[in-house]
A and B are shown apart, each in its own frame.
Chain A
Amino acid sequence: MLSTAALLANSTPPQLLPARELMAFTLASHILLVPFGVALPFITLLMHHRGLRRKDEVALKLARRWSAVMAVQFAIGVVTGTVLSFELGLLWPGMMGRWGDVFGLGFGIEAWAFFLEAVLIAIYLYGWRRLKPWTHFWLAAPLPFAALMGAFGIIAANSWMNTPQGFRLDAQGKPVDIDVRQAIFTPMFGPEYWHFVVAMFLTAGYVVAGVYAVGWLRGRRDRYHRLGFTLPFTVAAVLTPVQFMIGDSAARAVYQKQPIKFAAMEIVWETGTHMPEYLFGRLNSDGTISGGIKIPQLDSILAGFKPSTRVTGLTAVPADARPTVVQATIAHWAFDIMVTIGSLLILLALWYGWCWLRHRDLPRSRWFFRCAAVAGAACLLTVECGWITTEVGRQPWIVYNQMRVSEAVTDTRAGSLWAMLGIMIVVYVGVFGAFLAVILKMRTRWRIADEGGTAGPVDPPPETDTPYGPRSEPEPTGAGTTPGGGSDGTPGGAA
């Protein structure tokens, strides 16, 4: 046992930590944009449809503004996503070299779906002005499906890393006899996929609704805010209980397919029946648990519906084949935060549903809108937690029970990786900060306009044509020959 530990210490290359941190940082950043890439087009199209169907100008204005936000968000998502595909090679060449042909096809599906999404989103975002209204809408209608397809590919790849199958190892330990269908539809695929997709829709819904909840709290009670809040919030509220059920079954799938990960999520040390559930708390290296709330029997009941259910503990496998106590504690906390927030969101959804059934109206309490305003941020936190649970809980395996993270890592010197991490942090903080600043600025400018702001529209003719209306033949020469194409009367500012 001691020699194993010594071997483990020696076999942990120094570049492992920075490589891990770099991947974690870039992925944690990218995942914040994913809900909007996957679900914002759907929510926007719902609003768009309403606007066209009922000739509702307010709904159309909302849809147009959301698509203006989508344009910026999607662009940032594209670049941070591209970085991840670089990093698979730059940081984990061992995994891609050995397993690329086994599980890479999921990424292949994702790439094409994403391609389609990029094409459709470009047509949608830039089609507002000149395409016929319904043509414009229907060209974008496949967008949510392309997004679901893209998620399919990515989750197929990730769930394969969690429950790898669809291959046989030959005498040299090289994967052969690859069965692509098995490699895509792995045991964890279904639970992970639906949990992920619903999470994305939920998060996008709560975040968008949250923006209007803030406006509502600040006294902007017009139809614009009402509609902007109600539609995305309804989508999210309907999905919240659904997500709770899916999440529960996903956790049970982990219990069955990845018992050691489940043990980490629930900080179970020794295998046994009648296991208690710990809410939070910290796992110590001797298997004791400090802090936290202990609920007797509950873990076994949650895992298998009866107290006599046997739950595998972390010690069922050697120390070098399971998460460390710190990793287990991280996975446990991430899991518990996710479940806690999920449960609170159900209460919020029920509150909303109750008021709607009783009064056909939004709840009047300011506390409801306060909660709704933070629900979006809470959801983003939940997304991060869900991702931490699944990734940290898998340690030390990059491919569960097949390849350790340390075997997959690049040979590049730790120093270079730390330097790259430093650069990436600076770049991402800058980019995300600027992104947020731009979005907030857009919001401010819209608010000024809605409040009958003095500044008036920024753009000169011909761009004052309203979309979908009769238009004077756009003659971009106008914008071309007046150097201040977008000037608002302060041309001197550009000098």
Chain B
Amino acid sequence: MTADLVAWVMVLALAAYACAGGTDYGAGFWDLTAGGAERGKRPRWLIDHAMAPVWEVNNVWLIFVFIVMWTGFPAMFQAVFGALWLPLALAAIGLVLRGAGFALRKPTRRLAQRRIYGAMFAVSSLLTPFFLGAALGAVASGRVAVGTAASAHAWANPTSVLTGLLAIAATAFLGAVFLCSDARRFGADDLVDHFRLRALLAFCAVVVLGLIGLPVTHDDARYVWEGLTGGWGLLLLVLAAICGLVTAVLLLRRSYRWSRYTAVASVALTVGAWGCAQRPYLLPTTLTVADGAGAPQSMHWLAIVTAIAVLLVGPALVLLYRLDTMGELEPLTDADTQAAGAPGDNL
């Protein structure tokens, strides 16, 4: 019972990471495709401004996913990190480069250096979600079991590759939808259309990959496939699809007010659908939630700590996102800290 609850906490945290972190990765994706220094200057300016106050918070969700995993389901944690060594190691390196690239680009005033940091940030924004998605695909396809040795087989397979690509497409979609609203918020009207087009393209990519996924995963990830095509899994997936379509329609009609909510809902519902489809397994067909659960007392306390934390962090998080959307959060500028240009600055 508590184990099920904790398992759902884990799925929710994962959904939160997919939405919050995903939006971030998506922004990085559009940074990568924004073009050269001159052409890409405005989109990059927007991406910097929109992401800066929230990206650290968005990425803490991942740490929380891990912690729930090793405290709640230590056997699963061990199995996943054992079998998926390489993609997770690459994702970790990607995370460092991404965070450092983004953080260091802001205070840098030389174009050449900004290019390097920007490239670090953008390329790893592509690689990190791919490897995390591939790891998820490996779990969903039942290739990870307790004791599985690390091998390419676990993650270099159709389901994993597809999930990785889907992760990139979904983050690109989320990122573009959010940047659309941000462009309006910052009054950069031409960028609204820029990102509107990209949001629609990314949506098409998600749909295409989803359709390709149906036959590919039919045999490759049988258990989850069946879970997604029947029962609660199907219901959530249909709802996710509807939310996705509504987002696309809203974008087409240029009514941006609700589009970010529907986009987030579609991604969160998809993660939820996966969670439903995988029930009652943590690792499909080999390890159930009940079998993989940690000690009851730890589970119990994990639930309590989570509840207290939701009470503490929830309001703070709401405040942050609210202040951010109200435009109350702005980075300090050189004028605020009274900095002068130094020789060699050229930005």
User: Residues of A at under 8 Å CB distance from B?
Assistant: 61, 64-65, 67-68, 71-72, 74-76, 78-83, 85-90, 93-94, 96-102, 104-105, 107-112, 114-116, 118-123, 125-131, 139, 167, 175-180, 410-412, 416, 420, 423-424, 427-428, 431, 434-435, 438, 441-442, 444-446, 448-450, 453-459, 463-467, 474-477, 479-481, 483-488, 490, 493-495
CB distance from B290 to the nearest CB of A (A): 14
| B187/A467 in contact, CB under 8 A | no
Is A83 touching B95 in the complex (CB atoms < 8 A)?
yes
A111 and B67 in contact (CB under 8 A), knowing A121-B56, A480-B191, A490-B346?
yes
Q: Are A420 and B89 in contact (CB under 8 A)?
A: yes
B117-157 interface code vs A (CB 8 A; 1 in, 0 out): 10000000000000000000000000000000110000000
Q: Give Cα A416–Cα B93 distance, bound, in whole angstroms.
A: 14
A423 to B94, CA, bound (A): 11
The answer to whether A495 touches B96 (Cβ under 8 A) is: no
Report the separation of the CA atoms of residues A116 and B316 in the bound assembly, to the nearest whole angstrom: 7
The answer to whether B297 and A79 touch across the interface, beta carbons within 8 angstroms, is no
Residues of A within 8 Å of B330, CB to CB, are 126, 128-130, 474
Q: Which of B34-42, B208-216, B236-244 contacts A (4 or more CB under 8 A)?
A: B34-42
Taking the complex as formed, is B158 at the interface, i.e. its CB lies under 8 A from any CB of chain A?
no
A/B pair count, beta carbons within 8 Å: 348
Specify the chain A residue showing the minimal Cβ separation from B61. A115
Of the listed stretches B97-105, B163-171, B223-231, name the one at the interface; the rest are far from the partner chain.
Answer: B97-105
Contact B309 A483 (CB under 8 A): no
- B76 and chain A: residue at smallest CB distance: A97
Given A115, A177, A458, which contacts B345 in the complex, CB threshold below 8 Å?
Answer: A458
CB-based contact A112/B312 at 8 Å: yes
* CB-defined contacts of B1 to chain A, threshold 8 Å: none
CA distance A410 to B150 in the complex (A): 10
User: Would A78 and B77 count as touching, CB distance under 8 A?
Assistant: no
Task: Specify the main secondary structure of chain B where it touches its partner.
Answer: helix
Select which of B89, B103, B299, B329 is within 8 A of A76 by beta carbon: B103
Contact A123 B329 (CB under 8 A): yes
Contact check, B329 vs A100: say whether CB atoms are below 8 A apart.
no
Pairwise interchain contact B295-A80, C-beta atoms closer than 8 A: no
Q: Check B329–A64 contact: CB distance below 8 A.
A: no
Tell me if B340 and A79 are in contact (CB < 8 A).
Answer: no
CB distance from A153 to the nearest CB of B (A): 9
Contact A410–B41 (Cβ < 8 Å): no
A100 is contacted by which of B74, B96, B108, B340 (Cβ under 8 Å)?
B74
Of the candidate stretches B46-54, B199-207, B264-272, the one touching chain A is B46-54
Q: Which residue of A lies closest to B107 (CB)?
A: A438
Whether A475 lies near B187 (C-beta < 8 A) is: yes
Judged by a CB distance under 8 angstroms, whether B320 is at the interface is yes
Write 27 A-B pairs (CB below 8 A) sorted by A numbering. Answer: A78-B59, A89-B78, A90-B81, A90-B92, A97-B77, A98-B74, A107-B71, A108-B71, A114-B60, A115-B57, A116-B316, A121-B56, A126-B329, A126-B330, A130-B329, A179-B297, A411-B150, A435-B100, A445-B334, A446-B337, A457-B339, A458-B335, A458-B345, A480-B186, A480-B188, A486-B347, A494-B111
Contact A459 B333 (CB under 8 A): yes
Q: In the complex, are the beta carbons of B88 and A86 less than 8 A apart?
A: yes
Tell me which of A85, A99, A176, A455 contacts B63 (CB under 8 A).
Answer: A85
Q: CA of A178 to CA of B89 in the docked complex: distance in angstroms?
A: 31
> CA separation between A456 and B345, bound complex, in Å?
12
A79 touches B99 (CB 8 A): yes
Whether, in the assembled complex, B45 has its beta carbon less than 8 Å from a beta carbon of chain A, the answer is yes
CA A167 – CA B77 in complex, angstroms?
A: 20
Could you tell me how many residues of chain B have their Cβ less than 8 Å away from some Cβ of chain A?
Answer: 97
Q: Which residues of A contact B298 (CB under 8 A)?
A: 101-102, 104-105, 178, 180
Instruction: Determine whether the beta carbon of A101 is less than 8 Å from that of B71.
Output: yes
| CB-based contact B45/A431 at 8 Å | no
Give the docked Cα–Cα distance between A107 and B53 (Å). 25
- Complex Cα gap A390–B62 (Å): 28
Instruction: Identify the closest chain B residue to A413 (Cβ).
Output: B150
B299-336 CB contact bits vs A (8 Å, 1 = yes)?
10110011011001100110110011001111111111
**Is the pair B57, A119 in contact by a Cβ cutoff of 8 Å?**
yes
Contacts A119-B313, A410-B82, A494-B347 given; does A107 touch B337 at CB 8 Å: no
Pairwise interchain contact B66-A445, C-beta atoms closer than 8 A: no
Contacts of B86 in A (CB 8 A): 416
Identify the 3 closest CB pairs spanning chains A and B, nearest first: A101-B294, A97-B78, A493-B346
A46 to B41, CA, bound (A): 38
Starting from the known contacts A126-B332, A416-B85, 4 additional A-B residue pairs (CB-CB under 8 Å) come to A85-B66, A86-B66, A88-B66, A438-B107
A448 touches B342 (CB 8 A): yes
